[in-house]
Amino acid sequence: MKIIMLGAPGAGKGTQADMITKKYNVPHISTGDIFRANIKNGTELGKKAKGYMDQGLLVPDSLVVDLVIDRIHQDDCKEGYVLDGFPRTIPQAEALDAALAAENEEIDAAIDVEVPDDNIVNRMSGRRACLKCGATYHIVYNAPKTEGVCDNCGSELVQREDDKPETVLNRLSVYHKETQPLIDYYNQKGKVAEIDGTQDLNAVFADIEKVLNK
């Protein structure tokens, strides 16, 4: 099962990818989580990525592509994976396809979680993130058991640097320009499943399950 999550910032890609991981037992690979962990740990990659991320811009393809291609060749990816936040540009998608084609493989589905921009700014202000394990919460729609503490790993929850309203608007405009064209790209390959991401998160997951169980 090789799946790509498409959708705007805040559409719920990470939330749904986590649910897919729990049910289908394939790793959740989020490039955003990988960069945030690198920033937290002060690595060279983190230092390079931080300036772009804080402004809501994409990190250059050259810093992302090899990292993901290496990751999907690790042992835990033998039965598949959920890619969340990658690919995000046409060149990234072409690089992924080329790497898979070299092994006679292809992705199974690109799940496009659709949420209008208006809903998104609202959602982001209530988001809380665990920088240690990548879990995502919302103070109203998906609250942790104890306020401010990650259910999975017990770490402190924080607001992401790029969740300020003006940065969210920037991220949305970058999404429409750079990433939305991927919907056409994967549609031409017959891979896109469009899901209504405005529903409650369990209803969104039920729709995704229907696609994955086909």
Position 177, amino acid: K
Q: Which is nearer to Mg ion, 93 or 136 (CB)?
A: 136
Residues making contact with Mg ion (CB under 5 A): 14
Instruction: For residue 4, give the H/E element and its range.
Output: strand 2-7
Q: Mark the segment that binds ligand AP5 (CB under 6 A) among 20-28, 38-46, 49-57, 98-106.
A: 49-57
Instruction: State both tokens at 88.
Output: 């995000």
Residues 6 or more apart in contact with residue 79 via CB below 8 angstroms: 1, 25, 26
CB 120 within 8 A of CB 172: yes
Instruction: Say how far apart CA 152 and CA 174 lie, in whole Å.
Output: 31
> Which of residues 130, 192, 193, 208 is near Zn ion by CB under 5 A?
130
> Which of residues 153, 161, 200, 210 is near Zn ion by CB under 5 A?
153
Q: Which is nearer to Mg ion, 10 or 80 (CB)?
A: 10
Considering only CA atoms, which of 206, 208, 8, 9 is closest in space to residue 109? 208
Report residue 110: phi and psi, to 5°: -110, 110
Question: Exactly one of 36, 128, 160, 191 is catalytic; which is it?
Answer: 160
Name residues contacting ligand AP5, limited to 87-126 (CB under 6 A): 88, 92, 123, 126
- What residue ranges bind ligand AP5 (CB under 6 A)? 7, 9-15, 31-32, 35, 52-53, 56-59, 64, 85-86, 88, 92, 123, 126-127, 136-138, 141-142, 162, 171, 197, 200-201, 204
Catalytic residues: 13, 88, 127, 160, 171
